[in-house]
Amino acid sequence: MSNDTQRIEIITGREPRRRTMQRLLAVANALEGMSRAEAARAAGMERQALRDAVIRFNAEGLAGLVDRPHGHRREILSEGEQAVLVHRILVGPDPERGEPSSWTLPDLCRFIEERFDKTMCPQSMSRVVRRL
């Protein structure tokens, strides 16, 4: 039994994530000498998934077998635009200039559209305002 296989088997017993555990088991099986098809079948995954796991294991070691975080959408407003929005909210509306007596989410959406030519729905504006 190779050192890599021993380490993988030790980690596999403690790994709470199913997909990561499958990758660890499949790579351990492949390191033990099983064919890729047998190793993948024994771990409950497809041969192509095992191939991808082996490539990640060779490049990054055991850390390459762990699920990677999912990406996030880019924010609609840049940091500068967010700063302008925060300033606008903190200064408050000016009823003498025809602005409402207090900001509502649709009012802020109209401000963003007029100022930055970007459209936002009130729900998205609510998330932005809460985060800021």
- Structural domain of residue 58, as residue ranges? 3-65
For the stretch 61-109, pLDDT in tens is 888 888 877 777 888 899 999 999 999 889 888 878 777 778 889 999 9
Domain count, the chain: 2
Using the predicted structure, report yes or no on whether residue 1 has a pLDDT greater than 90. Answer: no
65, 99, 116 — which closes off a domain? 65
Residue 74 lies in a domain: no
Q: Do 61 and 15 have their domain in common?
A: yes
Burial of 27 (0-12, 13-18, 19+ CB in 10 A): buried
